[in-house]
Amino acid sequence: MEIKKITIIGGIGKDGQPEKVERFDLNMGDIISIVGPTGCGKTTLINDIELFANKNTPSERTILINDEPIPDDFSFDPSKHPIALISQHTNFLSDLPVGEFLQIHAKIRGSENIETMIEETLDFANQLTGEAIIRETAMTELSGGQTRSLLIADAVIIGHSPIILLDEIENAGIHRTKALKLLKKYEKIFVFVTHDPRIALLSDFRIIMSHGAMQKMITTNAEEKMAAIGLKKIDDVMLEFRKRIRAGEEITDAVFSEQIKDLAGSYQIYLKRRKV
Ligand SMILES: Nc1ncnc2c1ncn2[C@@H]1O[C@H](COP(=O)(O)OP(=O)(O)OP(=O)(O)O)[C@@H](O)[C@H]1O
Ligand SMILES: [Mg+2]
């Protein structure tokens, strides 16, 4: 079945009341975010999507594919499951080396050029991590960030999954800006659960949640897109400090002033741009 669109039909929140967002559609190429405080039900919502819920989960939501519900007895051939969920807590049970793991997955998926796919996957993953993942490393020895980077790359390239759900990738310390840039090249549905304002503002729209319910949907307008560009600058400065601290440098007055001056300069450019 070719997936063109999925629809989320609201159910009930933790208090049993209907959700304010009654429904929304996800079309191929859409990038959306789910935001809200800790414990408000973000993971529950993407789990409902992954399970193709049909009023059979505590939230009573319904997921439609191409406008149709999924029959109760329907199950995907696991090798063809259209949804990849990169979850918040990922642990591997397999201690296979990375290269072998990818090879097995590529074989199961019936990939043609397995070697190229493995290379592409590792290359994609290594653009997101600090320290490169090597083929010989056992899956269980990867760090949290390396694991999630590899899973994202694997889902996109080898898994060919049309729908990718990512639960709080920012906490794993992977390179978010690069991740978004790389992901945008693929015509898929990406759903980010995030506390990161940049990811939220770079999405097409965001769902705001509280008390287990979808409360509001906000489409990113031109003003917010401008703000996202400004936030990138702030984010870059933070990343620069992080890099220096990780590398064992001391943050002197001179270093701090230089970064802040740079930020002030960007603000001036932003003000000028806004006028034109
Ligand atoms: N609509 C709902 N009806 C009943 N229970 C719900 C609903 N939504 C969420 N819950 C319950 O609330 C709890 C917290 O939800 P969840 O783990 O999805 O939150 P979260 O937003 O992902 O939190 P965090 O930011 O900490 O990851 C879970 O036990 C979940 O089962
Ligand atoms: Mg969660």
Ligand nearest to the CA of 167: 2
Pocket test for ligand 1, best of 15, 38, 43 (most atoms within 8 A of CB): 43
- Atom of ligand 1 at shortest distance to CA of 40? 21
Q: What angle do CA 216, 38, 32 make, to 5 degrees?
A: 45
Q: Which of 17, 34, 44 to mutate to test the pocket of ligand 1 (most atoms within 8 A of CB)?
A: 44
Ligand 1: which atom is nearest the Cα of residue 168?
27
pLDDT value for 262: 87
- With a Cβ cut-off of 6 Å, ligand 1 is lined by 12-14, 36, 38-44, 58-59, 88, 212
**CB proximity list for 77: less than 8 A, separation 6 or greater:** none
Ligand 1 atom 18, closest CA: 41
What are the C-alpha distances in Å from 232 to residues 40, 50, 77, 129, 155? Answer: 27, 31, 41, 19, 26
Q: Per the structure block, which two tokens stand in for 136?
A: 């010989």
Which of 233, 222, 207, 226 has the alpha carbon at shortest distance from 8? 207
* H or E stretch at 65: strand 62-65
Count of all residues that appear for the chain in the document: 276
Cα(31)–Cα(52) distance, rounded to whole angstroms?
19
Distances 144 to 14, 90, 100, 130 between C-alpha atoms, Å: 31, 8, 19, 12
Residue 106 has a pLDDT of 93
pLDDT of 130: 80
Q: Which atom of ligand 1 is nearest to the CA of 38?
A: 25
Q: What is the pLDDT of residue 175?
A: 77
What is the model's pLDDT at position 230?
Answer: 84
Query: How far is the C-alpha of 197 from the C-alpha of 69, rounded, in Å?
Result: 33
Q: What spacing in Å lies between the alpha carbon of 161 and ligand 1's midpoint?
A: 25
pLDDT of 274: 75
Distance 200 CA to ligand 1 centre (A): 20
Closest atom of ligand 1 to CA, residue 195:
25
Task: Give the separation between CA 269 and CA 156, rounded to whole angstroms.
Answer: 36
The CATH number given to 5-220 is 3.40.50.300
How many helices (H) and strands (E) the chain has is answered by: 8, 10
d(Cα 237, Cα 174) in Å, to the nearest integer?
A: 16
Q: Give the Å distance between the CA of 213 and the centre of ligand 2.
A: 14
What distance in Å separates the CA atoms of residue 262 and residue 266, rounded to the nearest whole number? 6
pTM of the entire structure?
0.89
For the chain (276 residues), the mean pLDDT of every run of 10, in chain order, is: 91 98 96 96 96 94 91 67 84 84 92 93 92 93 90 92 89 77 90 92 96 98 89 87 93 93 86 77
Of ligand 1's listed atoms, the one at least distance from the Cα of 59 is 1
Ligand approaching nearest to the C-alpha of 41: 1
Name residue 193's amino acid. Answer: V
CA distances from 91 to 67, 138, 151, 201 (A): 35, 12, 11, 30
Cα 257 from Cα 276, distance rounded (Å): 29
pLDDT of residue 79: 67
pLDDT reported for residue 72: 65
